[in-house]
Structure 1
Amino acid sequence: MKGLLLAALAAFAFVSYTYAGAPSTFTAAKVVAKQKIFFDQASSSQGELYCGCKWEWTGKSGGRIDPASCGYETRAQQNRADRIEWEHIVPAWIFGHQRQCWQNGGRKNCIADDPVFRAMEADLFNLYPSVGEVNGDRSNFQYGMVTGVAPQYGACPTRVDFKGRTAEPRNDVKGLVARTTFYMYDRYGLSMSRQQQQLLMAWDRQYPVSSWEKEWNNRTAKLMGHPNPFITGDRSWSLGHKPSREGIVSAFPAHAAVAPSEKASSGVIIGNRNSNIYHLSQGCPSYDKVSPKNQVPFRSEAEAAAAGYRKAGNCK
């Protein structure tokens, strides 16, 4: 019995706390990415992902684009063109569709029931600030070469082929998005088409790791507890690459891994994803009353607050 309890606690800890500095939710990841990784990049020469625009930080994780810094012109969505959004370089739709949870209820179901999906959604190596309009236009399209499409965003070189469901990022980040894609597919055991592999392998060779990409990797590795081996050169991708699956944690659902009393003894803070209220293990009478499917674990009150949660009013 003791052995089973220890195993359950270990599974819960591994699922929710892969590393002390790694965020456990997408909302928290955006805040951490701003504060710990991109904090000094708003006015840098490399700019945001797709157009190289500079921006001004606003709020916990947002930003306002400076269109003059990159010659950006709005295509259709002014509100999104004005703001920074956080792009999943490998879209959640793509990695979600390779998880059973998505087939059973889409993204919401994956967030509730699949610890691997939550890890992918919050993985800091896969997040990058971008112009919101281009992020929206890219949608869940794969990267590829786009031909016959006139400039869509002024001087911004990124192109989106809506009919062909393909997006071609600017040259400056083609190597970066290739190595990020390799990382995600390798770490989480995803399947990639031969055509996509060939394209990204070519971008990886043609656009080598920059000094900023090395720094980005170093900053992110300190939070995630591991580097992107495709940036450091410790790993390379070839056709038929066999994924390491290092990010595939136990499928043991996080909300069922440990009984409420065991969570309390470990000091885990429980958030309610429906109400955005969190409960402490001590002094909060509703701590063990949150429905398992709505539970979101946090390591600290600061992390819960960063994710947009507030403390329950009945906590002493």
Structure 2
Amino acid sequence: MDMTRFILALLACFLCASVSGEQFTRFSTAKKHLIKTLPKDAKSIYCGCDIKKQGKKLVPDPTNCGYVPRNTLTRSGKVNVRALRIEWEHIVPAWEFGHQLQCWQDGGRKNCRKVSAKFRQMEADINNLAPAIGEINADRSNYRFGMLNEKATQYGRCEVKVNFKQRVIEPPVDARKRIADTYAYMQKTYGLKISDKQKKLFNAWQQQAFAAQGDTKKL
């Protein structure tokens, strides 16, 4: 068995143990469910910030994670409220899986929500949703994951990097396995097409995660 098949086999094992069986057909319903069932020790995906509940809303606590907003104000001079709240990030962006469906070609996200049961299920799949600081969710947009040369200085001590010119986001080490797992899940569940370059990257992240796990067990 070559290394790629070996990693994919391990991926399948991990996914079987971690994937939630809860299914929803509306993104809004899925988000409400996730807010209600959020574990007390949950962290934001890119910065690892603690998450606090304020009524029905979730807010990041930057005390320990060191997150500092890239922009405290918007271009109009108003407070950047997205830096002060937790949003539900599609790890595989709706743009990415939506573009692979005919409904998107016929009318974008709005049309897909209207006419495609598959799209609605994919959009509301909680296995593809993660709590993220709103500003970073906005900055990520639909950028692909990749590796970048610059240092992580945009968000304080939060080690996520976003290159707006290249349209690439590099997540911190602790988030990479979750991301790779999710792409494999979406591929297996919905037939998501993933480029060879992305597969190679995600396999590398899996190898690093397994190696790190092995090193931890030796300690």
Q: Are the aligned partners of 2:104 and 2:112 in contact in 1 as well (CA < 8 Å)?
A: yes
Higher relative contact order (CA 8 A, sep 6+): 2
- Contact conserved, 2:22 with 2:126, CA < 8 A, in 1? no
Quote the residue 2:110 is aligned against: 108
Cross-structure match for 1:120: 122
2:46 maps to what in 1? 50
Please show how residues 42-81 of structure 1 align to structure 2 within 5 Å: 42=42, 47-60=43-56, 62-76=57-71, 78-81=80-83
1:71-123 per-residue CA deviation (whole Å, 9 max, x = no partner) reads 11110153111110000000001000001111111101000000000010010
Deviation at 1:209, TM superposition (A): 10
Contact 2:35 2:58 in 1 (8 A): no
**Aligned residue type for 1:50:** Y
What residue identity is the alignment partner of 2:159? Answer: P
Q: What aligned pairs does 1:253-264 form with structure 2 within 5 A after superposition?
A: none
Give 3-state SS (helix, strand or coil) of 2:47's partner: coil
| 2:41 is the counterpart of 1:41 | yes
- Measure the CA separation in 2 of the matches of 1:30 and 1:169: 22
Distance in 2 of aligned mates of 1:209 and 1:87: 27
Paired amino acid for 2:53: W
Give 1:82-161 correspondences, 5 Å limit: 82-161=84-163
Partner-residue secondary structure (3-state), 1:146: coil
* Residue pair 2:152, 2:159 contacting (<8 A) in 1 also: no
Give the superposed CA RMSD: 2.1
Which of the pair is proportionally richer in helix?
2
Distance in structure 1 (CA, Å) of the matches to 2:143 and 2:206: 19
Distance 1:41 1:200 in 2: 26
The alignment's TM-score, normalised by the length of structure 1, stands at 0.56
1:172 matched residue in structure 2: 174
Deviation at 1:56, TM superposition (A): 1.0
Moved over 3 A (4+): 208-211
Please give the alpha-carbon distance, in whole angstroms, between the structure 1 residues aligned to 2:211 and 2:108: 35
Q: Give, in angstroms, the shift of residue 20 of structure 1.
A: 9.0
C-alpha displacement at 1:208, in angstroms?
3.5
- What residue in structure 2 maps to residue 297 of structure 1? none
Distance across 2 between alignment mates of 1:59 and 1:192: 39
Given that residues 175 and 208 in structure 1 are in contact (C-alpha distance below 8 angstroms), is that contact kept between their aligned partners in structure 2?
no
Are 2:44 and 2:60, in contact at CA under 8 Å, matched by a contact in 1?
no
When structure 1 is superposed on structure 2, of 159-168 and 74-83 the one drifting more is 74-83
Rounded to whole Å, the distance in 1 between the matches of 2:183 and 2:212 is 17
CA distance in 2, matches of 1:181, 1:187: 10
Distance 1:82 1:122 in 2: 24
Q: Distance in 1 between matches of 2:55 and 2:90?
A: 20
Q: Given the superposition, is the C-alpha separation of residues 109 and 86 from structure 1 closer, same or farther in structure 2, using an over 3 Å criterion? A: same
Counterpart check, 1:31 vs 2:27: no
**Aligned sequence identity (%):** 46
**Cα distance, 1:148 vs. partner?**
2.2
Task: Give the structure with higher Rg (CA).
Answer: 1
